[in-house]
Structure 1
Amino acid sequence: MTPLNIIVTGGFGELGTAVSQAFARNGHNVCRVDYASSPATTIDHTLDLAGIDLTKPLDCEKVASTAKNTFGGIDVLVNIAGGFYWGNLDNSELSDWERMFGMNLLTAVSMTKAALPEIQQSRSGRIINIGAIAALSADAGMGAYAASKSSIHRFTESLAKELSTSSTTVNAILPSTIDTKANRTAMPDADANSWVTPDAIADVILFLSSSAAHSISGALIPVSKGG
């Protein structure tokens, strides 16, 4: 198997770490990108780029050029970077909405734009975004978050159609609540048995990156254990 060259944004978080570990275990080259100054968990044989602001085109261009120069190209981009905010409209500020769209949409758009020329040079070009089940039907207080994640869904569909005549595919994973330490801390009374694990999401991302998924594009794939 020829190793793929992977960029994982939000690569230092729990989901990003699980995805990066899964790719690395399968012999692929992984570039982890994050806004944080350093990763909490190290992974052997990965390229870690810290302190990257993915809302800034120049930072994204730096990531793309570094990955290309280190690995020789870019095959797969996994846009995990993002964030969460809960607040009703009457107690939220416009800055809260701007932050959600910046973290959840603009990071993906900016990094995709920077990496796309190299991805399109690959016969295995893949772009995989992280949407959200919660964006399909938003509960009270979820307006800013759900709107920004819904934008990821529409971005995924639109870009897939733009690239439909190429070998590059574009898909989105729609997780339900992810079983992370942060979510368990934030929701100590919730039933985590119904949550989806980062490893389960990583399995789906690996499949979408494989040759078996070459005909899947524009899909919004729920990863929710049926919830």
Structure 2
Amino acid sequence: MTARVAIVVGAGGELGRVTAQKLAADGFTVVGVDRSAEGLKELPDGIRSEVGDATDPAVAKSVVDRIAVEAGPPEVLVNALGTYHLGDALDATPEDLRLMVDVNAGAALWLTQAVAPYMRDRGTGAVVHVAARPGLEPTAGMLAYSVGKAALVHLTRVLDLELRPLGIRVNAVAPQVLDTAKNRPYLPPELMAHAVSPEAIADIIAFLVSDAAAPISGAIVPTYGA
């Protein structure tokens, strides 16, 4: 165990898992969080795990507080949570929009609120959220998803303005398509040909939370692939 604690939320998915492994290799004490205990079983030995649904603000706070007591106050938060929904604007339902905002933006806010007091006390901290290209550029056919990710992009920028004076840096990466086992069966080959590996995104996240990225805050880093 080291004094540098990193929390990776969404660690049951491929991007979260490889990010947790990368940060552990970089010397962090890593705790992976996911609402699914099953996904967390794939984390390697040496990476702690906690089950919790971060879309619930009370759960997000209780999980972070428990990690702070058991592993140490968090210096890094990586939020790799996200969910996806296809659908045109005229077909969107209140449930579609609510789910996309709750998961893609709400959890980011609740998690940041939970870790910020610990980072403020240390005078330093780094937060990275996982946004998406449709949150930056208008994309037809995925209204609710695009709005949810756009909310996350704007949230990241507001958090930067409010938390940077406390020594807390907040950034985001914005992939277009990830080359994951979950995506491959559902997306056409011509789209997957430009997909980016989770390992490549994890490397960028690891840089953004590192001391080498100390001047960077409020950035939404495009990670679209070739």
Which TM-score applies when normalising by structure 2? 0.93
- Structure 1 runs (4+) greater than 4 angstroms displaced: none
Work out the CA distance in 1 between the residues paired with 2:128 and 2:139.
Answer: 25
Check if 1:63 corresponds to 2:63: yes
Contact 2:8–2:80 under 8 Å retained in 1: yes
Return the alpha-carbon distance in structure 2 between the equivalents of residues 122 and 80 of structure 1.
24
Contact 1:6 1:78 in 2 (8 A): yes
Q: C-alpha offsets along residues 133-171 of structure 1, whole Å, 9 cap, x if unaligned?
A: 122222221111111111111111111111232221011
Shift of 1:10: 0.7
Q: Which residue of 2 aligns with 1:49?
A: 50
- Residue 171 of structure 1 aligns to a residue in which SS? strand
AA at the equivalent of 2:211 = S
The secondary structure found in structure 2 opposite 1:182 is: coil
Match of 2:92 in 1: 92
Letter in 2 for 1:212: A
Give the gaps of 5 or more residues in structure 2: none
Map 1:1-227 → 2, pairs under 5 A:
4-39=4-39, 40-50=41-51, 52-225=52-225, 227=226
Deviation at 1:3, TM superposition (A): 5.3
The secondary structure found in structure 2 opposite 1:185 is coil
How many residues align? The count is: 224
Write the distance in 1 (CA, Å) between the matches of 2:102 and 2:166. 28
| Residues 92, 143 of structure 2: 8 Å contact kept | no
Give the letter for the 2:94 counterpart: L
Give the partner amino acid of 2:16.
G
Aligned Cα RMSD in Å? 1.5
Using the aligned pairs only, state the percent identity: 32
The 3-state SS of whatever aligns with 1:8 is strand
Tell me if the contact between 2:136 and 2:153 (Cα under 8 Å) persists in the aligned partners: no
